[in-house]
């Protein structure tokens, strides 16, 4: 699903290659990391964060989430790290989450990372009830102070947001869509190839940052298009590759492409 954290330092450097940029529009805002970094690195710029997944609710409830995880940590105090949780402790955790759900917001994505096997997550209590629980509890509280400060937070289809700002002077689009042919996580609908290709209308005539992975095959696709005379939206761009290792014999490459 990509790890933008690994791009942060290179992304910061590249932002200074956009001296005339006055507005950055984060079309697929996700966790807001790209928007956050832009606002900290370029406080002079207007930054529009498309919070389509309501990530701000998770930030606003971080103290509540820390409290829930602290309670889970107490329940699992005698269970070794990364070990399976069996009844009755498993049921105690499920009842704890149901109780908190009755009284307010539960950030299941964050909480589930503390009780599911590494790399897994859930978006509701039903998904958690169907899975084996493990003691992966975070040992320190999450800190999100001022994370979204200074951002203009909107919620819109990326096409509408692009249309609204495509003629804005000095605009730069941040484009980080679901990766083609990979897990789309908690996106509501599976992205078909046609949906994915529509995204490229946002970068053909504008400065942009675009994120993908070698697992999506998009680079290979446009190399083929270019070789057969159809052209590529990546002409005149710069590219940064970061290789990540899942284990000793499995790896993939995250890719950042940009044009100022």
Overall domain count for the chain: 2
Whole-model pTM: value is: 0.84
Tell me what pLDDT residue 118 has.
82
Domain termination residue (choose one: 75, 104, 134): 134
Q: Tell me if 198 sits within 8 A of 177, measured CB to CB.
A: no
Which residues, listed in sequence order, are joined to residue 238 by a DSSP beta bridge? Answer: 258
Residue 81 falls within a domain, yes or no? yes
Residue scoring higher pLDDT (29 or 253): 29
15-50, pLDDT tens digit by residue? 999 999 999 999 999 999 999 999 999 999 999 999
Q: Which phi-psi region, left, alpha or beta, contains residue 148 (left: φ > 0; alpha: ψ -120 to 50)?
A: alpha
User: Based on the domain organization, do 9 and 129 belong to the same domain?
Assistant: no
Residues 212 and 234 reside in one and the same domain: yes
Q: Residues 9, 46: one domain?
A: yes
| Res 4 pLDDT > 70 | no
Please identify, among 88, 105, 134, the residue that sits at the C-terminal boundary of a domain. 134
| Per-residue model confidence as pLDDT tens digits over 85-127 | 999 999 999 999 999 999 999 999 999 999 999 878 899 999 9
Domain check: are 174 and 128 in the same one?
no
Whether 46 is in a domain gets the answer: yes
Residue 68 has pLDDT above 50, yes or no: yes
**CATH for 246:** 3.40.50.150
Residues spanned by the domain of 94: 57-134
The chain-wide mean pLDDT, for the chain, equals 89
pLDDT for res 1: 42
Q: What pLDDT was estimated at residue 185?
A: 45
* Rounded CA separation 61/67 (Å): 10
pLDDT at 72: 98
pLDDT at 79: 95
pLDDT, one tens digit per residue, over 91-101 is 999 999 999 99
How far apart are the C-alpha atoms of 22 and 206, rounded to whole Å?
13
């Amino acid at each position: 699903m990509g790890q933008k954290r690994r791009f942060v330092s290179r992304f910061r450097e590249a932002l200074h290659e956009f001296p005339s940029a006055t507005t950055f529009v984060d079309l697929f805002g996700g966790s807001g990391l790209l928007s956050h970094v832009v606002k900290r690195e370029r406080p002079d710029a207007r930054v529009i964060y498309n919070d389509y997944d309501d990530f701000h609710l998770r930030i606003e409830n971080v103290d509540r989430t820390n409290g829930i995880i602290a309670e889970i940590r107490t329940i699992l105090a005698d269970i070794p790290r990364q070990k399976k949780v069996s009844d009755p402790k498993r049921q105690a955790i499920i009842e704890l989450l149901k109780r908190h759900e009755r009284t307010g917001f539960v950030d299941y994505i964050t909480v589930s990372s503390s009780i599911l096997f590494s790399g897994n997550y859930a978006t509701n209590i039903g998904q958690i009830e169907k899975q084996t629980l493990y003691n992966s509890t975070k040992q320190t509280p999450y800190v999100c102070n001022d994370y979204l400060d200074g951002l203009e937070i909107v919620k819109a289809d990326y096409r509408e947001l692009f249309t609204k700002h495509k003629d804005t002077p000095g605009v730069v689009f941040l484009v980080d869509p679901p990766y083609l042919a990979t897990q789309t996580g908690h996106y509501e609908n599976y992205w078909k190839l046609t949906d994915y290709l529509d995204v490229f209308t946002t970068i053909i005539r504008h400065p942009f940052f675009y994120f993908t992975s070698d697992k999506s095959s998009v680079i290979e696709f446009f190399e083929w298009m270019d070789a057969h005379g159809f052209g590529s939206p990546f002409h005149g761009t710069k590219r940064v590759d970061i290789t990540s290792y899942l284990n000793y014999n499995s790896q993939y490459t995250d890719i950042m492409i940009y044009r100022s």
